């Protein structure tokens, strides 16, 4: 199994989003700024610092039209924010920011959202013999952007269940 898919599947994602753009001529940097603005506004709405939000973002070209869009896995919001109304507010904010159509759903682990966002990455990973550096040299398209908080969450999971020897103390 691809280690990135495995690691990201350990996170308790809250939302799955597909975000399109009104214009296909937008630069990638503008698309990212729009996503950051969306996340910052929602974080502010729920009293969460932006750096506490957890997200995984991947740009993809549509299969039929070739138009670029984003897929995102989102977490880090309080439990009371996990409502259909929150999904609709994400969509409304996206459109106000100049985005196109947005589809935001409560995340269901039964639907393998991590696998969907990272689709194609497992094949690229195997083709390159497990070396993502090699996939980039030959034009592989597995660019996934992760928030800093993803790494904090995963590092925290590694600490869970970590055993210390009898009498060993933590550094103070």
Average pLDDT over residues 148-172: 63
- Backbone angles phi and psi of 62, in degrees to 5: -65, 145
Contacts of 38 (CB under 8 A, 6+ apart): 19, 90, 93, 94, 97, 99
At residue 104, the pLDDT reads: 97
At residue 134, the pLDDT reads: 42
1-10, 38-47, 109-118, 137-146: lowest mean pLDDT where?
137-146
For the chain, give every domain's residue range.
Answer: 3-159
Residue 123 in this model has a pLDDT that exceeds 90: no
Residue 168 in this model has a pLDDT that exceeds 70: no
Average pLDDT over residues 30-52: 96
Most confident of 45-59, 60-74, 105-119, 127-141: 45-59
pTM for the full model? 0.78
Of 102 and 60, more confident: 102
The string of pLDDT tens digits covering residues 134-158 is 444 334 455 788 899 898 888 876 5
Q: State how far the Cα of 37 lies from the Cα of 26, in Å rounded to an integer.
A: 16
CATH homologous superfamily for the domain 3-159: Ribosomal protein S6/Translation elongation factor EF1B (3.30.70.60)
């Amino acid at each position: 199994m691809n280690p990135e898919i495995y690691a990201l599947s350990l996170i308790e994602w809250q939302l799955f989003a597909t975000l399109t753009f009104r214009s296909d001529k937008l630069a990638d940097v503008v698309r990212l700024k729009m996503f950051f603005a969306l996340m910052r506004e929602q974080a502010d709405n729920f009293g969460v610092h932006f750096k506490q939000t957890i997200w995984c973002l991947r740009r993809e070209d549509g299969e039929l039209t070739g138009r670029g869009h984003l897929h995102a896995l989102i977490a880090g919001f309080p439990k009371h924010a996990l409502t259909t109304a929150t999904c609709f507010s994400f969509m409304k904010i996206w459109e106000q920011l100049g985005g196109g159509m947005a589809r935001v759903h409560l995340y269901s682990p039964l639907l393998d959202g991590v696998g969907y966002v990272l689709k194609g990455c497992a094949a690229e990973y195997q083709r390159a013999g497990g070396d993502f550096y090699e996939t980039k040299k030959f034009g592989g398209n597995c660019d996934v952007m992760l928030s800093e908080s993803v790494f904090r969450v995963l590092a925290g999971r590694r600490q869970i269940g970590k055993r210390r020897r009898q009498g060993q103390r933590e550094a103070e």
